[in-house]
Structure 1
């Protein structure tokens, strides 16, 4: 039996239930009738190509609304998205994934997955706990192992004329890195991918299906926590178990919530960024050939891929009824902060709808804006850079094997889930 009573099975389960019980809304799915009044980021049309929709909304209705998910707003201009991201007085982060379940108010200011779900002033201190693990120097120590792993993945694809770069390459890289950081068994990768899909792509499932899926995730995390309590080691899980805030060790929900955040966000965002970058290079031979001929362009190209194909859309909850920039928002309305839309706003970026791999000035919002800017940005950049360097070194000539077979994830993190590429060998 574990010696840390914080992680007693029954008490942990009871705490988890209080986190997943909230205001439930009718499940609303199906084709969109009008994107200005009935948008849904969970529909296949949005997943396949959201950019024309966003561009149209930015012109006709820059802050769109829907009654789906119990009521939500979608700003598409950079200035509006930035204003909301920085406004912690009127918008809460206690839930950052839009679904048909609104978490209880009691979760604030911690939220379910701190620090990204935390409001000030708690957010500052919760975020500070994680900073040492994600500095440039800490990330640099992970690079040699990451590079070696990328080469081993390429070795496993040897001799294949068509490979699925999303399924057989991109997804495995952040999965291995995050497992290493948290001290989880690397062979549990299939579980991690299941958790990612449940958390981010299952938002329109009925609560009776969605909640058990989340319970499965936290059940896995509890098992890992209890093992680390009994067998401490040098990893992030042991660090979180022993960390203190305000003179006390972290609450069980804080420990598990942060682990959940690192596991899900740390995998899906980078998986998506790697896949989208390879998709672009496969369909744009001129850019691929430039990078192969001049690898020094890769840092600028990476930032442009992050801008043009930013994977992440975050959410906020309106704190109280108010008139905001010409629309009437109500308490507990969702607000989707589409950083992909912000990154393609022509008022903010020249040639906003084009991919310019040598763009010199690129202050994109792919890692978010405001106090919740991604704590793992150095890690994500390292993984993306190494993944592309190794791929281009080993497979300099490739193209889309079947453009119609590419499948993009639905929900708030968008990236290729199926990406068949044809490898042209010398």
Structure 2
């Protein structure tokens, strides 16, 4: 059986998050009560979810919705952590809450291992990636990342206003991930489309969503073919040659991991860079202090990750159960809002404030439990370098039009448009 045959077979069997009976319905529309009818796809959630989360934490720490076929939203740190660590009762086989669910047979591997994998498979799938994302491995990419940031700012020459999300933040992880996977750097615009289809198109009819996801996997198959014919020293060739349990990875495993790195590796870091620049643009005191005290940036960066954590993950309830005062049904979604956990006053002093010199900061922006982000060292390096270069080259900047800033809806939240004024007001 050829690679194409194997891949097509595996992809046909696992590609579709299959509709689950009557649980396939439209999920957007005005929210009547966030405690009983929440939807993380609504514009008010995208614009500013924090007051909603704070209110829920006070009056209904585990919110519910009938949308998405039924789901739950814990807002306290302790509840989010409890779900994240409980792999016996909550499955990771789908981490994007949407209007359809993948079949149970997809566990324990899932469609995008290791993030979609349950134990015991998860441990071995994750272990394959660890050497690629060590601090030493990441450090080798810093010089090229810094050069890229400078080249992006060079392109601003003569401009007094730029979109820092589209013209700066998004390109940094796009290039880094493309280089790691051995993809053509000019394919960046396609990556943005793949991201939007995967993370922001969750309310599409299943057939259309599958078709759009098929475009991503068609692209990945083309890259796999090229790497089989022309092996090189990159992550794609590494995955193609990797072995698990004495045999090479299934093509669907290779493509699923590549999809994970392409989507999550870009959007999360793009969002973190953008949110940090947004904060500095609207907070002159913090911007001026970091320009004057660049050695404070690593500490400030952790605070930006805490306060503007971009990622919310999902789990699926394995069996009917009573959990922390609520009755969960099998196949209910649970949204793990790491942003809400990071702003829990029971866990953090001055939780709703941005304290750029916060000394103790055990935030969970990179998750908790076995699925804590394997690429955290890479994300931190990209964020630090992006901010270092920006503050060095553009020490004076502000929001060009606060009302023109837009944020992504869904489970990865960050600025999608961020018009900034460059230079004195």
TM-score by length of 1: 0.98
Distance, in Å, in 2 between the alignment partners of 1:425 and 1:157 is 16
Report the counterpart of residue 143 of structure 1 in structure 2. Answer: 142
CA contact (8 A) 2:47 2:406 kept: yes
What is the Cα deviation at residue 37 of structure 1?
A: 0.3
1:218-258 per-residue CA deviation (whole Å, 9 max, x = no partner) reads 01000000110111000000000110000011011110000
CA contact (8 A) 1:402 1:420 kept: yes
Report the counterpart of residue 9 of structure 2 in structure 1. Answer: 11
Distance, in Å, in 1 between the alignment partners of 2:103 and 2:8 is 21
The correspondence of residues 103-182 of structure 1 with structure 2, limited to 5 A, is: 103-182=102-181
What is the Cα deviation at residue 12 of structure 1?
A: 4.7
Report the counterpart of residue 421 of structure 1 in structure 2. Answer: 420
The correspondence of residues 11-160 of structure 1 with structure 2, limited to 5 A, is: 11-17=9-15, 19-23=16-20, 25-160=24-159
What is the Cα deviation at residue 207 of structure 1?
A: 1.2
Distance, in Å, in 1 between the alignment partners of 2:11 and 2:92 is 23
Report the counterpart of residue 213 of structure 2 in structure 1. Answer: 214
CA contact (8 A) 2:7 2:251 kept: no
What is the Cα deviation at residue 140 of structure 1?
A: 0.3
Report the counterpart of residue 326 of structure 1 in structure 2. Answer: 325
Which consecutive residues of structure 2, in runs of 5 or more, have no partner in the other structure? none
Distance, in Å, in 1 between the alignment partners of 2:181 and 2:319 is 38
Distance, in Å, in 1 between the alignment partners of 2:407 and 2:100 is 24
Report the counterpart of residue 355 of structure 1 in structure 2. Answer: 354
CA contact (8 A) 2:6 2:251 kept: no
Distance, in Å, in 2 between the alignment partners of 1:192 and 1:22 is 26
What is the Cα deviation at residue 25 of structure 1?
A: 1.0
What is the Cα deviation at residue 10 of structure 1?
A: 4.0
The correspondence of residues 383-422 of structure 1 with structure 2, limited to 5 A, is: 383-422=382-421
Distance, in Å, in 2 between the alignment partners of 1:205 and 1:353 is 34
Q: Would the alpha carbon gap of residues 141 and 252 (structure 1) be closer, same or farther in structure 2, given more than 3 Å must change? A: same
What is the Cα deviation at residue 15 of structure 1?
A: 3.1
1:299-339 per-residue CA deviation (whole Å, 9 max, x = no partner) reads 00000000000000000000000000000000000000000
Distance, in Å, in 2 between the alignment partners of 1:150 and 1:280 is 19
CA contact (8 A) 2:11 2:252 kept: no
CA RMSD after TM alignment: 1.2
Distance, in Å, in 1 between the alignment partners of 2:245 and 2:214 is 28
Distance, in Å, in 2 between the alignment partners of 1:86 and 1:21 is 26
Distance, in Å, in 1 between the alignment partners of 2:11 and 2:59 is 47
CA contact (8 A) 2:112 2:253 kept: yes
Report the counterpart of residue 230 of structure 2 in structure 1. Answer: 231
CA contact (8 A) 1:7 1:226 kept: no
1:20-73 per-residue CA deviation (whole Å, 9 max, x = no partner) reads 334151112111110000000011100000000000000010000000100000
Q: Would the alpha carbon gap of residues 15 and 295 (structure 1) be closer, same or farther in structure 2, given more than 3 Å must change? A: same
What is the Cα deviation at residue 93 of structure 1?
A: 0.3
What is the Cα deviation at residue 387 of structure 1?
A: 0.1
What secondary structure does 2:412 align onto?
coil
Q: Would the alpha carbon gap of residues 192 and 396 (structure 1) be closer, same or farther in structure 2, given more than 3 Å must change? A: same
CA contact (8 A) 1:94 1:108 kept: yes
What secondary structure does 1:328 align onto?
strand
CA contact (8 A) 1:15 1:253 kept: no
